[in-house]
Amino acid sequence: MLFKAIDTLRDFIDKEPSYSKGLVPTMGALHNGHLSLIKKAQQDCEIVVVSIFVNPTQFNDPNDLSNYPRTLKTDVKKIEAISKDILIYSPSVEEIYPEGPKSESFNFGSLSKYMEGQYRSGHFNGVGTVLSRLFDLVEPQKAYFGEKDFQQLAIVKKLVHLTGQNVDIIGCKTFREPNGLAKSSRNKLLLEHEKDDAKIIYECLKYVKQNFNYHNIEQLKKKVKSVFKSANNLKLEYFEIADEDDLTPTTSAKKNKKYRAFIAAFCDRVRLIDNIALN
Ligand code: PAF
């Protein structure tokens, strides 16, 4: 069921005030990764709301915002194929930002300092702003996010801590194409042969995981850079190995700490990210 305004959505939801609510925030162009988040929310909650909103404040590149795929009709069909009881909330920019699209400023500490925080200035303030607004409007008990955006997941956990919003943040595993490429709405912008080129991203991450105990981080970085240098169509933006808890990149791994490898790369004009747990 599609709702374009919060009042009508709330009228519907508030008929059953004791029901548990799960929110799956999305920017649409839904793929199987999103659908798995929705199915997880269905298992946990009596009411599931999927928000579809391309959030202007999290884009630091106007071209990226205007090129972002918008496929509301097919998204609604995909959701209804799971269940007609799922509530879809697709608000206008004016409803989310009555005073015009503007980000609040959050102190995410080291979580927003590196990687996406470094290369997409203001991005996480935009994500934090839209999510705290959605949490206020929908008042879910749980909200669901994919691990493909691992840094975002950490930021959202910190966000609810900072704002005091009582939402349980649930991370769900990354869904992949058959060739290993992480599912992303941006994959829709790739031609078939580019999807094939982009499999290098996950191949590198798997290589790093397999070799994490045998090579030092400098060697692993060198290897990844050289693979990207000779890869078709791909340009590495960053490769980092970071502490899983504070997301600070490291040059030497310590025992008893958990690490993840993170990649951002352009496949032609499309920016893709992925990550993997190393230990
Ligand atoms: O991951 C996304 O699609 C977006 O960053 C989110 C969480 C829906 C906020 O706009």
The reply to whether 112 and 140 lie within a common domain is: yes
The reply to whether 59 and 124 lie within a common domain is: yes
The pLDDT-based confidence of 139 (bands split at 50, 70, 90) is very high
Q: Residues 277, 192, 67, CA angle at the centre, nearest 5°?
A: 80
Q: Which CATH number covers residue 134? A: 3.40.50.620
Q: Is residue 129 part of a domain?
A: yes
pTM of the complete model: 0.97
Q: Is residue 178 part of a domain?
A: no
Q: Which CATH number covers residue 243? A: 3.30.1300.10
Q: Is residue 62 part of a domain?
A: yes
Look at residue 244 in the predicted model and tell me its pLDDT.
Answer: 97
Look at residue 267 in the predicted model and tell me its pLDDT.
Answer: 97
In order, the DSSP letters of 37-89 are HHHHHHHH-SEEEEEE---GGG-S-HHHHHHS---HHHHHHHHHHH-TT-EEE
Look at residue 111 in the predicted model and tell me its pLDDT.
Answer: 98
The reply to whether 18 and 155 lie within a common domain is: yes
The reply to whether 18 and 108 lie within a common domain is: yes
Instruction: Tell me the residue range of the domain where 132 lies.
Output: 2-172
Report the separation in Å between the CA atom of 169 and the middle of ligand 1, taken as the mean of its atom positions.
13
Residue of the nearest CA to atom 5 in ligand 1? 127
What is the number of structural domains in the chain?
A: 2
Last residue of a domain, one of 172, 194, 223: 172
The reply to whether 189 and 167 lie within a common domain is: no
The reply to whether 196 and 102 lie within a common domain is: no
Q: Is residue 30 part of a domain?
A: yes
The reply to whether 151 and 33 lie within a common domain is: yes
Report the separation in Å between the CA atom of 28 and the middle of ligand 1, taken as the mean of its atom positions.
9
The pLDDT-based confidence of 215 (bands split at 50, 70, 90) is very high
The pLDDT-based confidence of 3 (bands split at 50, 70, 90) is very high
**Do 204 and 263 touch, CB atoms closer than 8 A?**
yes
Last residue of a domain, one of 146, 172, 198: 172
Q: Is residue 80 part of a domain?
A: yes
The reply to whether 137 and 254 lie within a common domain is: no
The reply to whether 189 and 249 lie within a common domain is: yes
The reply to whether 151 and 21 lie within a common domain is: yes
Q: Is residue 140 part of a domain?
A: yes
Look at residue 202 in the predicted model and tell me its pLDDT.
Answer: 98
Residue of the nearest CA to atom 6 in ligand 1? 26
pLDDT tens string 142-187: 999 999 999 999 999 999 999 999 999 999 999 999 999 999 999 9
Q: Is residue 229 part of a domain?
A: yes
34 catalytically annotated: yes
The reply to whether 8 and 137 lie within a common domain is: yes
- Nearest Cα to 201, choosing from 149, 273, 278? 273
To test the pocket of ligand 1, the residue of 23, 24, 26 to mutate (highest count of ligand atoms within 8 Å of its CB) is 26
Q: Is residue 179 part of a domain?
A: no
The reply to whether 160 and 235 lie within a common domain is: no
Last residue of a domain, one of 172, 196, 219: 172
pLDDT tens string 83-138: 999 999 999 999 999 999 999 999 999 999 999 999 999 999 999 999 999 999 99
Question: CB within 6 Å of ligand 1 — which residues?
Answer: 25-27, 55, 58, 127, 130-131, 149, 152
Look at residue 204 in the predicted model and tell me its pLDDT.
Answer: 98
Atom of ligand 1 nearest to the CA of 51: 8
